[in-house]
Amino acid sequence: MPDDHPLAIGVIGDNGFHPHAHRTIEEADTLLYIGCKMGSVSTISWSMPSKKENLKILQIDLDPEMVGNNFQNTLSIVGDAKLVVEDLVILLKGKTAQKEVSDWVNDLNQQRQTFWDDARKELQVDTSPLKPRRVIAELNRHLDESAVVIADAGTPTPYITRYLKLVNRDSRFIIPRAYGGLGYAIPAVVGAHFARPDAKLVGLFGDGSLGMAAGELETISRLNIPVVLIHFNNSTFGWIKALQKLHCSKNYFSVDFNANDPVKVAQGFGMKALSIETTKELEDGLDIAFRSEKPVFLDIKTEPESDDIPPVYSWMKTQEKNDNQ
């Protein structure tokens, strides 16, 4: 479903959440989870939806071990998501639908519009080093065509889930959101290339992830995969450092390292690489990368998560609590 669709309410859970999406979960009388394990991330450690009378939870999943595993379902259905939904569409034919949109739905849509209006200012902040959200804002300008966007765990996660906008119905977004394994995006774009050779490929990852999967740059270069590689370079394991800031009174341990020169690494593997520190360089670099029919590596100097806590629900609540102590 394109992100600009009226029914695309947004992202739920901890990482990169949308407030209006959380409100939807909490105020709805019936929730239908399709292919969602309802794990710790999407439910904020199993606290959402909160328990209330008369809430109906329906879950469809291919794995019988997943249905009803984390919540008491009203109805559990084991089956292929697409096939079950096709059956559901058949069952709903001829049913009378409510013709007028309810005040609740109108209010949710107004809240969503207000969120994006307010976000417009955040997305235009021009700093050095660049804020990760500005990177996503500039990326959105290039995603009108069919695209497969793959993000690594760590720095890209909360920003891309909150601010990415895919408007083409054939576009897809893939992220290891549950387990959070570093080093996923670079090899994943290789698989995406063979699965969707028609789509524009984008891979986003931090420097911690790059250190774990840099060797796959050779694969991309050798196969000449036309991918836009976006590297968030903040000289730290940013996700872990932010957690140490919030929960360990800024007693940082084994999270910082030298920035070095990833551009030379990418060039050494035979691909075009650009160093980016300003908004103008970011705009020009993305233009070059999206026009290219070869892989392009963008090394972007960005602000670490520990400097400005990203939109992670539990982190923001912890920061608020720390500020009030």
- ∠ CA(196), CA(283), CA(11), 5° rounding? 55
What's the confidence (pLDDT) of residue 303?
93
What's the confidence (pLDDT) of residue 325?
79
| Helix, strand or coil, per DSSP, at residue 19 | helix
What's the confidence (pLDDT) of residue 323?
87
Query: Where does CATH 3.40.50.970 sit in the chain?
Result: 124-324
Name, in order, each residue with C-beta under 8 angstroms of 253's C-beta and a sequence gap of 6 or more. 244
Helix axes 238-247, 313-324, angle to 10 degrees: 30
Name, in order, each residue with C-beta under 8 angstroms of 143's C-beta and a sequence gap of 6 or more. 149, 164, 165, 166, 167, 168, 171, 200, 202
Instruction: Identify the segments of the chain with pLDDT beneath 70.
Output: 97-99
Q: Select the CATH number that applies to the domain covering 124-324 from these four: 3.40.50.300, 3.40.50.2300, 3.40.50.970, 2.60.120.10.
A: 3.40.50.970
Confirm if 238 and 306 have CB atoms less than 8 A apart. yes
Token output for 201: 């490929």
Query: Where does CATH 3.40.50.1220 sit in the chain?
Result: 19-105
What's the confidence (pLDDT) of residue 142?
96
Judged by phi (left if over 0) then psi (alpha if -120 to 50, else beta), residue 130 lies in beta
What fold, for 19-105?
Answer: Rossmann fold (3.40.50)
Sign of CA dihedral 31, 32, 34, 37: positive
Confirm if 217 and 186 have CB atoms less than 8 A apart. yes
What's the confidence (pLDDT) of residue 205?
96
Residues 183-240 pLDDT 10s = 999 999 999 999 999 999 999 999 999 999 999 999 999 999 999 999 999 999 888 8
What's the confidence (pLDDT) of residue 310?
92
Residue 259's Cβ-side half-sphere holds a number of Cα atoms within 13 Å equal to 14
What's the confidence (pLDDT) of residue 102?
84
Alpha-helix runs per DSSP H in 32-80: none
Residue 141's Cβ-side half-sphere holds a number of Cα atoms within 13 Å equal to 14
Q: Distance between CA 291 and CA 240 in Å, rounded? A: 35
